[in-house]
Structure 1
């Protein structure tokens, strides 16, 4: 419990504190009134200041904006003048010789001028048009001098070469050195960029491409000129009837040099120009030399047409060479297939015409013959025709293409294609699976025409049937032998049966004459008589002759006489014939097979008719065998 004294002391202390707080509160109220009065006065003063300062502040802002606009205008003027100033600085460099300034520095100056020109064009100010025109003129001057450097670098390696030197020694044709290619590429890139900047025209034909095509094209044309002349001179004939032999023309060497030089040129182009320009620049570069090549082909074609029968094989050789050349170049990136095909078209047309001309030539030569060999030997036309076919087998690839484009039977100039043919098209087709069959059909037509003409001629000019047979057998033997001794054997295997049938007819015609002589060795035997005629190895000629009547004996004597006379005539005639070896051997076997057994039998039965005097029996069996053996 708190004491009363203590409680009073606490109350007194609290009361004093309350009195202090009350005094402070009174002071705070007075201070608040003073502050409020000061705020009122300050507000009044602020309004007065604002009324006086506001116009001054507004003018200051306008001045700041105007000052900023002036700075911007000065900055724009500076930017506008900067390209002009740059142009003035670059003019001295660009009007100097690049070799004196240094190509690298000269190109750098062109780059700076190009950028300055671009900046002026962006400004689109009318006042800059004069400056733009001046800079364009300056750029053209710089480009012209840079192109001169490009041209000079190219000319350093553009002296004509002798292709035969590189071909015979199997050397690569010269390339532009890598260091020069790098410089040419740099110049080309800057010329292209500048052309794109200074002109609105198509920049694909910018000057460096034309310069390259001109200089390198001249180099190619000059280098290949001698081979062009050689191709024409080697085609000239020493003898008008000499047949062209494969590889004797210089066109093969010309084509090989063209391929190697074009491939080398394409490799020169790739490091210098952009990829999309490679084919175009290559075609431009090769155009001049390719035109000369086309001209050479036209001259050779004129020569072929003038000597179509003997030199048409050159046309097939040219077709194969140029077609293969275009394909190989295309595989190496040089796309000249279309212009080469166009250059080849006249030769292809000549080759097409030659196939019909070969048939017509064979027919015409046979028709013009006024007489056939008196010894029934084969005519030269037959061997010539086979040589034509043999020679054609050396050009099967181009020949197949030509035959395919003509269509089966399309080579005939006398009659429309037979039922097995189809309508030929003008488009040249690739070699197909039936190309070998087409050649076989062509050869069949040619040989059948030859056979029919020979057969007709022999019947009209040779009256003796046996001579007709020998004549036809000789010609057929030439056909057969020359077929089996060449590539024709594999191509004309379907013609074997036809040739065999021709040969059988010819042999049959000849052997008809020997049927007559065989009749003299036939006799009549009467099996109804009491004494049966002896047969076999134990024939008694004396007994048989003794049993004959006088009339029969005279008949036997007459048979021996007629046989001897006819046999001698046939043997003499046989020996007068000029026969191919296989014909002589075959006919000798046929004669022996027909005569020897008949004569042996007749001799065994009746040789005692003249009792060994030889008056009627001229040959014994051994003598007959010797004569027949001598026929082969």
Structure 2
């Protein structure tokens, strides 16, 4: 039974599979027929498409040829129009070119020039023998000349020299002031600068020369501004003009003169440099609380007007050229900046350099005439010029900096000459002093050579930095500085102080030698000693009071002690001048001994001689020394005290022993002075009223 069921199931499945196979064969045949039909259709379509392409392709080719012909025709017409325009351009722009450019409408003129340039290029390339080439070339050159002329007239029209007062205000404004505040200087408006810029760049592209026009016109503005300032300086109003306020609320002191403004300007500049140095080094440096600390001495507060005028000119030049460089950047192509600026500044720099040469020549004459207050001005000028060096480095090119550096070198050379000449004067012959007098003072007071030398070196101290730089160039001073540096470490300004100390040491040594030589002109030994004592004491006290003694110690450690020892020796030598007078009355053991108020007849002549000799020599000494002046009160009273202590005890003993002795019929003839009278006469020595 089970087998029968399995057989039936298998037979059923076989029939089903047979049916499925038959169905699959039918479908395969059907798909094959469809593929055959599709292939046939595609073959027919391909043949028809090929036929269509063979029909359309000639049409396309003919259309392409027509398009090329049309393009060629258009290009030909364009070229023809261009060629015709080249032939017509000279007639079209001739009137415009001959009229020249119009301010504010430069574009139209440049467009006409561009057309002429294009025509010239065409004829040069295609028909160099054409008459039209000559026409357009001539017209183009005429246009360029007209453009140059317009360029020059435009600069002249909008450029005028600054008035002196305006330039002075420009000099003293702050470095960071806005340019808009000084429109009187920036006479070239924005539109004018733009027009000049356009012309400059067009001429630059055309390789046309224009830089000399700009340099000449703007250089004349700078030069004439400086010349007007120079003329103003010669007028009586120089130094008394008031500064115009930069803002309406600002009050300006009308009494402030040029020298004061100069001092304030350089004080600010010095403090600014100190601030910059502090920022770069991190070291705190004392700023100048007053102009005199860094720039000038109190005695020279008003300064040398000629030097002040020159410095104002130098400042004016620098300010003007700073503005010119700023304007030039807006007008001239960058590649021409150096060339234009060099030519622009040339004449103005020559003017200032010539002024500097005349200043140095004048100061040299002052030095040769020994006019030391004027000669000292060279160091103030040097200090100020050095303060301007950073500005000079920023403003000028290498050649101009070299030219202005010659001014600095000339000033330094003149300063060195002043220092050397002063030493020569101090060192001079024993009968020569600063003002040319040949005699030493009759009262043996402080010699003018001494007071002038001290005055000179005191005024050198405020310029120690400048003088140190000058002396550093001298191998003699630099060698001595090296010797000092082997013993102690000195940095920065201390080195300059040490160099000045070496110079002062040398000046004092020459002064001491000169004083020694001059004292020989006195016939009296006491006067010689007192003359030297007056001068040496004055030197020491002056050095101590001015604190120069500490400076000199950098070069000569024992300077103060040496002067004090010299003073003690001179006092001792002076006291010894009384010794001859006292020698006859001091040794009482060698004189006859009185007995009951009498001496032997043979001894009377000895006492007469001793009294007479003392009286004569004492009177002579008092007569001479009453005419001697000792200006210093302490020194004078000290010498009087020493005289009394030295003379009175000896005379008292002699007087007490022999005043009452009967050695003469006329004792008043010999015993002329009582001790108190001697003391009174000694107290009147060195008394000017006496």
The question of whether the paired residues in 2 share the 8 Å contact of 1:110 and 1:139 is answered with: no
Does 1:285 find its partner at 2:344? yes
* Whole-Å separation in 1 of the counterparts to 2:328 and 2:155: 11
Does 1:106 find its partner at 2:106? yes
1:256 to 312, 315, 330: 312
The question of whether the paired residues in 2 share the 8 Å contact of 1:610 and 1:617 is answered with: no
Residues 105 and 616 of structure 1: CA distance in aligned 2, closer, same or farther (over 3 Å): closer
Residue 184 of structure 1 aligns with which residue?
192
> Deviation of residue 382 (structure 1)?
3.6
- Three-state SS of the structure 2 residue aligned to 1:104 is coil
> Deviation of residue 500 (structure 1)?
3.0
* Whole-Å separation in 2 of the counterparts to 1:41 and 1:161: 99
The question of whether the paired residues in 1 share the 8 Å contact of 2:214 and 2:340 is answered with: yes
Does 1:319 find its partner at 2:321? no
The question of whether the paired residues in 1 share the 8 Å contact of 2:575 and 2:646 is answered with: no
> Deviation of residue 38 (structure 1)?
11
Q: Any idea what the Cα deviations from partners look like across 1:107-160, whole Å, max 9, x if unmatched? A: 355268659969998x99933989999888766655544444443344346555
- Three-state SS of the structure 1 residue aligned to 2:430 is helix
The question of whether the paired residues in 2 share the 8 Å contact of 1:269 and 1:281 is answered with: no
> Deviation of residue 591 (structure 1)?
1.0
Alignment RMSD (CA, Å):
5.5
Q: TM-score with structure 2 length normalisation?
A: 0.63
Q: Any idea what the Cα deviations from partners look like across 1:12-71, whole Å, max 9, x if unmatched? A: xxxxxxxxxxxxx9xxx9xx99999999999889888877x4884575266246336526
2:526 to 442, 466, 480: 466
* Whole-Å separation in 2 of the counterparts to 1:456 and 1:398: 33
* Whole-Å separation in 1 of the counterparts to 2:631 and 2:213: 72
- Three-state SS of the structure 2 residue aligned to 1:433 is helix
* Whole-Å separation in 2 of the counterparts to 1:357 and 1:175: 50
Residue 495 of structure 2 aligns with which residue?
434
The question of whether the paired residues in 2 share the 8 Å contact of 1:472 and 1:506 is answered with: yes
Residue 65 of structure 2 aligns with which residue?
63
Does 1:273 find its partner at 2:338? no
1:403 to 454, 465, 471: 471
* Whole-Å separation in 1 of the counterparts to 2:636 and 2:168: 52
* Whole-Å separation in 1 of the counterparts to 2:189 and 2:351: 28
* Whole-Å separation in 2 of the counterparts to 1:315 and 1:484: 27
Residues 128 and 178 of structure 1: CA distance in aligned 2, closer, same or farther (over 3 Å): farther
* Whole-Å separation in 1 of the counterparts to 2:522 and 2:62: 136
Residue 572 of structure 1 aligns with which residue?
623
**Counterparts of residues 141-152 of structure 1 (less than 5 Å):** 141-142=142-143, 144-152=145-153
Larger mean CA deviation between 41-50 and 360-369 belongs to 41-50
The question of whether the paired residues in 1 share the 8 Å contact of 2:218 and 2:344 is answered with: yes
> Deviation of residue 252 (structure 1)?
1.1
Structure having the higher Rg: 1
Residue 214 of structure 2 aligns with which residue?
209
* Whole-Å separation in 1 of the counterparts to 2:85 and 2:461: 75
The question of whether the paired residues in 2 share the 8 Å contact of 1:308 and 1:354 is answered with: yes
Residues 95 and 273 of structure 1: CA distance in aligned 2, closer, same or farther (over 3 Å): farther
Does 1:197 find its partner at 2:205? yes
- Three-state SS of the structure 2 residue aligned to 1:631 is coil
The question of whether the paired residues in 1 share the 8 Å contact of 2:120 and 2:133 is answered with: yes
* Whole-Å separation in 1 of the counterparts to 2:628 and 2:226: 61
- Three-state SS of the structure 1 residue aligned to 2:494 is coil
* Whole-Å separation in 1 of the counterparts to 2:168 and 2:53: 103
The question of whether the paired residues in 2 share the 8 Å contact of 1:216 and 1:285 is answered with: no
The question of whether the paired residues in 2 share the 8 Å contact of 1:98 and 1:146 is answered with: yes
* Whole-Å separation in 1 of the counterparts to 2:377 and 2:325: 34
Unaligned runs of 5+ in 2: 1-28, 174-180, 237-299, 486-490
Does 1:619 find its partner at 2:670? no
**Counterparts of residues 131-142 of structure 1 (less than 5 Å):** 141-142=142-143
Unaligned runs of 5+ in 1: 1-24, 232-243, 411-415, 423-429, 527-542
The question of whether the paired residues in 2 share the 8 Å contact of 1:521 and 1:598 is answered with: yes
Does 1:450 find its partner at 2:511? yes
The question of whether the paired residues in 2 share the 8 Å contact of 1:469 and 1:508 is answered with: no
> Deviation of residue 389 (structure 1)?
3.3
> Deviation of residue 622 (structure 1)?
2.7
Residues 94 and 613 of structure 1: CA distance in aligned 2, closer, same or farther (over 3 Å): same
Q: How many residues align?
A: 560
Residues 451 and 39 of structure 1: CA distance in aligned 2, closer, same or farther (over 3 Å): closer
* Whole-Å separation in 1 of the counterparts to 2:39 and 2:355: 119
> Deviation of residue 182 (structure 1)?
0.9
Residues 183 and 148 of structure 1: CA distance in aligned 2, closer, same or farther (over 3 Å): farther
The question of whether the paired residues in 2 share the 8 Å contact of 1:154 and 1:212 is answered with: yes
Residues 565 and 152 of structure 1: CA distance in aligned 2, closer, same or farther (over 3 Å): same
* Whole-Å separation in 2 of the counterparts to 1:269 and 1:207: 15
* Whole-Å separation in 1 of the counterparts to 2:39 and 2:392: 106
Residues 522 and 213 of structure 1: CA distance in aligned 2, closer, same or farther (over 3 Å): same
Residue 419 of structure 2 aligns with which residue?
355
